Amino acid sequence: MDCLFCGIAAGEIPSKKVFEDEKVLAFYDIDPKAPVHIVVIPKKHIASAAEITADNSGEVAHIYEAIARIAEELKLEKGFRVVTNCGEEGGQSVGHLHFHLLAGRNLGWPPG
């Protein structure tokens, strides 16, 4: 399968790792949209948020546990945002489920 984030999860494509365990990898986004911009992925390939089911939702729960740990380790006590873009109009450009962890500035609401 030709998937960029599977390649990063496998270590075949380099990334600047922030956190890793058996199920999850987090790495710095190559084109950051905030002073802190981390991409958090399940190592297992899930194409998008539209593909989350009862069989794989445990991966997502585990990702949110990892995000809380990362936020604590990076001392993001002023706050952060977690965003998942899904599909063409949702702005998804990589077809492997991922969560953007954004912090370090006032992110504003609603998003554009």
Footprint of ligand AMP (CB under 6 A): 4, 15, 27, 29-31, 39, 85, 91-94
Q: Closest approach of Cβ 73 to ligand AMP, in Å?
A: 19
For the question of residue 98 being annotated catalytic, the response is: yes
Our CB check for ligand AMP shows the closer of 32 and 69 to be 32
Given the residues 37, 62, 96, 98, select the one marked as catalytic. Answer: 98
Question: 24 CB contacts (<8 Å, ≥6 apart)?
Answer: 40, 41, 42, 43, 59, 62, 63, 66
Alpha-carbon span 93 to 95, nearest angstrom: 7
Our CB check for ligand AMP shows the closer of 16 and 72 to be 16
Our CB check for ligand AMP shows the closer of 40 and 71 to be 40
Q: Closest approach of Cβ 83 to ligand AMP, in Å?
A: 8
Rounded to 5, what percent of the chain is helix, strand, coil? 25, 20, 50
Confirm if 87 and 96 have CB atoms less than 8 A apart.
no
Q: Closest approach of Cβ 70 to ligand AMP, in Å?
A: 15
Which residues are the active-site residues? 98
